[in-house]
């Protein structure tokens, strides 16, 4: 108790140094735990988390090929893949024992009518050249919208499409965007009419089953041609698309549907094998195999990777600067104490007891600060990581907590050992020697 009281009294005589020591210990321990939590989460996300994905593979034109697209030239449809092409690739995958399920999307431009107008483009051309101002999509299943170029949407009014029933109601049911609904003063249940892309006199009537809005905030709302505006997309079930005469094998120009078959793979290994097999099956050079699943996943963990880089640099900086600052503060607490040590030795206090007091002076603020920093990190790491990465929770595992405790205790003991050495290195024979003689 005598040693503890002496150590506490010394700390109270130098409050700012004691508080600063504890705060630095809090900072170092909290930063260490959070940095290691981020590193572990990032390693999992880019390792086992990535390997556990079940990617959806799509065959798309390369960006270079897509850049050459002319939406007012119907000969562009020669670049579309046909059902025969997809059958070739699917057969090659099955032959290589790659199992998959699938969904698909078909689309064609359709013409607006006098009572149903599209949102204008910035450089519109005649529907005789573009095929129309709207784009009609035929969706095979409820998960197909995710694999369109515009991404997912949510129903803001009415109901979603019925993909299971094939009757007159589903044949005529479509979804339109809120922007188009507002422009034409339409509501759920309203009737709309569009015309065939190559035959303006051939009109088709639909009923608005639902009104949608995109969930992807980056979806653009402007385009040169009206038909390329995401808000001018009309969504129907595949049954509604085909039964209204848009799924044609002998179409001409813009009446040829743009087919996109999405292959659902069971694992990353299956996806990688699928890529090799399809490329070997002579996929045209203008096409590439991509995966929205992988793109979305990489985008979602990109902030985590950036945070991991920042925290790695920050951790090394804090360890270097913080460790040096703690060492300086400890040494400052040991300066000008030769007389104190000598007096204690003269009155019979052993070096071990004095050394223990000096160690306690270091351990009390550093251990308390380290414990507080670890506790704060363990409780707040998940929320802090989620806030900094847009949703990636960087929870501190029990292993990381114990890892931080181990290194924290080791660092505190090293600093305490520095204090102990100050006592042990004092030679008893120099106690009654003047400072000048000691320095000589």
Query: Does the pLDDT of residue 110 top 90, yes or no?
Result: yes
Query: Does the pLDDT of residue 346 top 90, yes or no?
Result: no
Helical segments of 281-397, H only: 292-334, 338-346, 351-389
CA distance 36 to 387: 17
Query: Does the pLDDT of residue 255 top 70, yes or no?
Result: yes
Q: What is the mean pLDDT of residues 237-260?
A: 91
Q: Nearest 5°: phi and psi at 100? A: -160, 160
Q: What is the mean pLDDT of residues 301-330?
A: 95
Q: What is the mean pLDDT of residues 35-50?
A: 94
Task: Provide the pLDDT for residue 440.
Answer: 46
For 61-89, what is each residue's pLDDT tens digit?
999 999 999 999 999 999 999 999 999 99
Q: What is the pTM of this model?
A: 0.80
For 128-185, what is each residue's pLDDT tens digit?
999 999 999 999 999 898 888 888 999 999 999 999 888 888 899 999 999 999 999 9
Task: Provide the pLDDT for residue 427.
Answer: 62
Q: Please provide the average confidence, as pLDDT, over all residues in the chain.
A: 90
Task: Provide the pLDDT for residue 172.
Answer: 93
Query: Does the pLDDT of residue 352 top 90, yes or no?
Result: no
């Amino acid at each position: 108790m005598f040693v503890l009281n002496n150590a506490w009294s010394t700390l109270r005589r130098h409050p700012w140094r004691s508080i600063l020591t504890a705060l630095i210990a809090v900072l170092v321990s909290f930063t260490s735990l959070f940095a290691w939590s981020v590193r572990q989460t990032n390693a999992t996300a880019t390792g086992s988390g990535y390997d556990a994905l079940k990617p959806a593979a799509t065959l798309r034109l390369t960006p270079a090929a897509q850049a050459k697209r002319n939406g007012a030239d119907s000969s562009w449809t020669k670049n579309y893949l046909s059902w025969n092409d997809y059958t070739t690739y699917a057969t090659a995958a099955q032959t290589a024992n790659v199992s998959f399920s699938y969904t698909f999307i078909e689309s064609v431009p359709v013409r607006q009518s006098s009572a149903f107008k599209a949102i204008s483009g910035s450089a519109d051309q005649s529907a005789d050249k573009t095929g129309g101002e709207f784009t009609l999509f035929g969706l095979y299943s409820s998960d197909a919208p995710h694999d369109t170029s515009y991404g997912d949407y949510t129903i803001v009014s009415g109901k979603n499409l019925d993909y299971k029933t094939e009757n007159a109601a589903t044949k005529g049911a479509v979804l339109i965007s809120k922007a188009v609904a507002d422009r034409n003063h339409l509501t759920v249940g309203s009737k709309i009419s569009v015309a065939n892309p190559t035959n303006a006199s051939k009109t088709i009537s639909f009923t608005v089953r639902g009104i949608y809005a995109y969930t992807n905030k980056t979806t653009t709302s402007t385009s040169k041609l009206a038909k390329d505006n995401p808000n001018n997309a009309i969504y129907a079930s595949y049954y509604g698309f085909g039964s209204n005469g848009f799924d044609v094998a002998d179409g001409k120009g813009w009446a040829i549907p743009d087919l996109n078959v999405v292959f659902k793979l069971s694992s990353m290994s299956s996806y990688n094998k699928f890529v090799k097999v399809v490329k070997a099956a002579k996929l045209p050079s203008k096409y590439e195999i991509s995966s929205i699943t992988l793109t979305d996943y990489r985008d979602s963990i990109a902030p985590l990777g950036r945070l991991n880089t920042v925290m790695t640099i920050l951790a090394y900086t804090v360890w270097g600067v913080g460790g040096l600052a703690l060492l300086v503060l400890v040494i400052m607490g040991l300066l000008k104490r030769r007389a104190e040590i000598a007096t204690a030795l003269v009155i019979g206090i052993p070096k071990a007891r004095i050394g223990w007091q000096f160690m306690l002076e270091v351990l009390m603020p550093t251990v308390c600060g380290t414990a507080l920093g670890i506790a704060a990190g363990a409780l707040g790491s998940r929320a802090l990581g989620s806030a900094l990465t847009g949703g990636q929770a960087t929870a501190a595992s029990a292993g990381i907590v114990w890892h931080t405790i181990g290194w924290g205790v080791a660092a505190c003991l090293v600093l305490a050992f520095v204090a102990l050495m100050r006592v042990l290195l004092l030679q008893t024979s120099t106690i009654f020697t003047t400072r000048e003689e000691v320095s000589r």
